[in-house]
């Protein structure tokens, strides 16, 4: 297989939930540059349309689907709508996520529900409901956004850490169930990237302490996540499932 075909996504239909901004948008652009038509879902219609315009400018088809993925009735309807519009996606990317930094003893039940509903529950049901169609077809690829917090605990970020441990666990569980039926399930664990999700919550002290732990000595650029997503979605990774790939500048490798 030639290199351009090994890593190419021409003719594939991709759906990125949380694709309007940040990590999701960077991955959407990468998938489009690799040849896929990329459709986007998220809460804000105006943001989605702007991102879709960027993808269309690359010559790809792109639809915007405003949806609150934590609303199970809305998510179920969304799955049906996408399937009718473009067919079952070849590639599903779960990039939806929220966080809240504060002392563990100060969280309220509504904080727990908001974070877990977004980061774990919506990822599980988006994966399994779209997964039904992938399994019926006998092919498909799910890529979810995990975190360094899928491997470690981080002070003042307890519920987020729990949710991202869950993403890694569901990735391995679904991979083991679905591998023999043609559907691969993997995850990407980004290191420290400045996004709308964390740029205002990270103090200068926290940034400095994070930087001191990164062997490469810098935070990541969002487009550096696109290569991992393209790889996991491509024929080059056809024997890869159940993996959580760290894109972290060596943070996890550095240990203490």
Catalytic center residues = 160
The residues near 217 (Cβ < 8 Å, ≥ 6 apart) are 211, 249
Q: Of 52, 81, 53, 54, which is closest to residue 67 (Cα–Cα)?
A: 81
Q: How many CB atoms lie within 10 A of CB 94?
A: 27
The C-alpha atoms of residue 145 and residue 35 are separated, in whole angstroms, by 21
- What residue has token string 């001191």? 212
**Residue owning tokens 């990164």:** 214
DSSP 8-state code for residue 202: S
> HSE on the CB side for 170, CA within 13 Å?
24
Its sign, for the CA torsion 245, 61, 127, 242, is negative
Question: In 62-193, which ranges are continuous DSSP H helix?
Answer: 72-86, 109-116, 122-137, 158-178
Strands 64-66 and 91-94: unpaired
Q: What's the order of all strands across the beta sheet hosting 183-190?
A: 64-66, 37-42, 13-17, 91-94, 140-145, 183-190, 244-247
- The Cα–Cα gap between 153 and 164 comes to 10
């Amino acid at each position: 297989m030639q290199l351009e075909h090994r890593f190419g996504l021409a003719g594939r239909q991709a759906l990125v939930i949380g694709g309007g901004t940040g990590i999701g948008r960077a991955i959407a652009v990468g998938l489009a540059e690799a040849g896929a038509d990329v459709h986007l879902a998220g809460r804000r219609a105006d943001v989605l349309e702007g991102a879709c315009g960027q993808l269309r400018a690359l010559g790809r088809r792109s639809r915007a689907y405003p949806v609150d993925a934590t609303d199970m009735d809305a998510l179920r309807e969304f799955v049906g709508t996408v399937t009718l519009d473009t067919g079952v996606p070849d590639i599903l990317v779960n990039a939806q996520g929220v966080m809240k930094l504060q002392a563990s003893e100060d969280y309220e039940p509504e904080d727990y529900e908001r974070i877990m509903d977004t980061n774990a529950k919506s990822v599980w049901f988006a994966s399994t409901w779209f997964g039904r169609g992938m399994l019926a077809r006998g092919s498909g690829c799910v890529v979810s956004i995990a975190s360094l917090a899928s491997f470690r605990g981080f002070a003042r970020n307890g519920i987020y850490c729990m949710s991202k441990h869950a993403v890694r666990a569901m990735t391995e569980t679904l991979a083991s169930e679905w591998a023999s039926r043609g559907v691969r399930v993997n995850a990407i664990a980004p290191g420290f990237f400045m996004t709308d999700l964390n740029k205002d919550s990270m103090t200068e002290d926290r940034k400095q302490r994070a930087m001191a732990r990164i062997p490469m000595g810098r935070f990541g650029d969002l487009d550096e996540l696109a290569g991992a997503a393209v790889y996991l979605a491509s024929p080059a990774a056809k024997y890869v499932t159940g993996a959580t790939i760290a894109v972290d500048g060596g943070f996890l490798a550095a240990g203490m």
